[in-house]
Structure 1
Amino acid sequence: MVEIGYKLASEEHGALDLVCYARQAEDAGFTFAMISDHYHPWTNQQGQSPFVWGVLGGISQVTADLHLVTGVTCPTIRTHPGIIAQAAATAASMMPGRFSLGLGSGENLNEHVFGDPWPAAPIRIEMLEEAIEVIRLLWKGGMQDHYGSFYTLENAQIFTLPDELPPIYIASEGPISASLAGRAGDGFINPGTNAEENLIIFRDSGGGDKPAYIEISVCWAETEEEGRRTAYEQWPIAANEGELNRLLPTPVHYEQVAKMVTPEDVAKHVTCGPDPDPVIRKIEEGVRKGFDHVCIHQIGQQQREFMEFATKEVLPHFTK
């Protein structure tokens, strides 16, 4: 049985709106939500980027059953993994049994902002692997020291630990990180790129039957044309391929790249319009690939309308 979730896109919505949408998503019948963790939005048009850990505190107080996953947090450069360990432990203590820490190797857009260099991908994944070791070490409790290749802990102890530690899910779009997810993670997250082949690597590297999450992007609107226009204006990065979304440093650079693609290019990656059938087929495609969790990202400001649409026309198809 597939679980269907809702994406809390921090790049598009302010903190209080995200808290409100989380409550609405729970009421609509979504079983989980993934919330992005960015310092910048992808483009200035998106216009938001609240601090995820503050938002999660608010969400914890207005939801009762909705499972929350950071989708995803980078614990390597901008934020020391020791801080992420403390933040995630606090979030898990506020949402007992319904918080998971999603981790990834990050983007230059968010991680270079304090003057740190942006390493090559293999180095970033080595940093991520050590960061996971640091987080799990601190979650053991007690005073801890760590002297590694990238990170140091001296006399560090997290005193507020949840009764149930949160699982760590690792995001991957390539084989090296997929292998890491299988070895070191409790689950797998894929944003929709190279999904099937990387899921196989994850399973074969130790992932077994651990949870696997995939994200799909839609833009519900009254017409397909309106949806395509909104998707292009708000989420042009959907058309970017390869390493580009990991490398550019500012929203302005992504806006420059957006001028090189068309609404039709974006619509190849985003299901647009009011018809539920393409959305249902997209979810079913994720299930056929082997994913047991599908997270739907509704692009744009028509979030309430999308949730009504999902409640009436999409979710019932998977609860029969």
Structure 2
Amino acid sequence: MRFGYTLMTEQAGPKALVRYAAAAERAGFDFEVSSDHFSPWLAEQGHAPYAWSVLGAVAQCTERVELMTYVTCPIMRYHPAVVAQKASTMQLLSDGRFTLGLGAGENLNEHVVGRGWPAVNVRHEMLEEALHIIGGLFDGGYFSYAGEHFRVDSAKLWDLPGQRTPIAVAVSGAQSVTRFAPLADAMVAVEPKASLCREWDKAGGGAGDRKIGQLPVSWDRDSAAASRRAHEQFRWFGGGWKVNAELPGPSGFAGATQFVTESDVSQSIPCGPEVGPILKSLREFADAGFTDVALVQIGGEHQDGFLEFAEAELLPALRQEWGN
């Protein structure tokens, strides 16, 4: 497996994220992913800078790590033609290190443009059209499109990288896998389900495609403090994406998780100073067939300590376990 670091825009401001990105590269991470949110999940997280500006800066302060959106929704807040332009620009700025991660989005971020929130089947239709538009623009030349949800009139990417930007798509079940595997270069999922990897390969993705997961951790020398922080800022994570995609704002997530206990969270998220629990959780992704996992350190002000821990202890242990 390859190991990544998450630039979580919901829990840190833009300058801090850029600084963490440079430090994560120095620590030895293979790639870095960025969330793309208009709002944090919970008010306690407290941030939501514009991910694409952050990524542009990160492309200039790093040299080696691959970069990726994890993930951008190209169906409401952004028109897919504009997403294609942003991705091509990022590929040029990063000298070919960028992967465009896409998904069907969450009400939390997309309702802000005042168009309501479509049913999941409609969102999947929209994402499929968006993938055709983005792919068509990546092909070069003038491109037009007339679909049920989107139109494109004679658009062209004038700054198109020589290396085609890979596209990864977030999936959560058989329906999304079957629909999107033939249209993408890599799979994104946050649960270590072997069925997703098998179905992706069967649906046309191919056994050689990257399967990119994500694992939240709450590192702290004080295990009790790590557990408290995980509950405060990440109790929304256990709701599952069918729930998380529908709630409209932080107050909704606060209400939906009011009865989630600290023990509930710490049982599903590695908390504390030890490598072992993180290794155990990553092994679930490896056994399921994932090729890459991006770690999320919970707590914006706790990144520096985590990155020191990652460089000194965590990443060497992971390299030894997986031999890379």
TM-score, with structure 1 as normaliser: 0.97
**Greater displacement, 298-307 / 234-243:** 234-243
1:279 aligns with 2:278: yes
User: Residues 238 and 270 of structure 1 are in contact (CA less than 8 Å); yes or no, is this contact kept in structure 2?
Assistant: no
Q: Alpha carbon RMSD of aligned pairs, Å?
A: 1.2
Distance 1:244 1:143 in 2: 39
For structure 2, the 5+ residue unaligned runs are none
Secondary structure at the residue paired with 1:69?
strand
Secondary structure at the residue paired with 2:204?
helix
TM-score, with structure 2 as normaliser: 0.95
Shift of 1:269: 2.1
The corresponding residue for 1:180 is 179
Shift of 1:223: 2.2
For structure 1, the 5+ residue unaligned runs are none
Per-residue CA shift, 1:184-232, capped at 9, x if unaligned?
110001112x622222211111121201111111000112211110011
The corresponding residue for 1:164 is 163
Shift of 1:242: 5.5
Note closer, same or farther for the CA distance 1:139–1:242 as it changes in structure 2 (3 Å cut). Answer: closer
1:260 aligns with 2:259: yes
Secondary structure at the residue paired with 2:203?
helix
Shift of 1:266: 1.4
The corresponding residue for 1:315 is 315
Q: 1:225-240 to 2 correspondence within 5 Å?
A: 225-240=224-239
Secondary structure at the residue paired with 2:135?
helix
The corresponding residue for 1:7 is 6
The corresponding residue for 1:47 is 46
Runs of 4+ more than 3 Å apart? none
Shift of 1:318: 3.1
Identity %: 37
User: Residues 172 and 241 of structure 2 are in contact (CA less than 8 Å); yes or no, is this contact kept in structure 1?
Assistant: no
**Greater displacement, 2-11 / 109-118:** 109-118
Note closer, same or farther for the CA distance 1:30–1:252 as it changes in structure 2 (3 Å cut). Answer: same
1:195 aligns with 2:193: yes
The corresponding residue for 2:149 is 150
Distance 1:151 1:303 in 2: 40
Q: 1:46-195 to 2 correspondence within 5 Å?
A: 46-192=45-191, 195=193
The corresponding residue for 2:306 is 306
The corresponding residue for 2:203 is 205
Shift of 1:74: 0.3
Secondary structure at the residue paired with 1:243?
helix
**Greater displacement, 258-267 / 244-253:** 258-267
Matched AA of 1:292: T
Matched AA of 1:312: A
Distance 1:268 1:76 in 2: 35
Shift of 1:275: 0.8
Shift of 1:260: 1.9
Secondary structure at the residue paired with 2:11?
coil
Distance 2:115 2:268 in 1: 32
The corresponding residue for 1:214 is 213
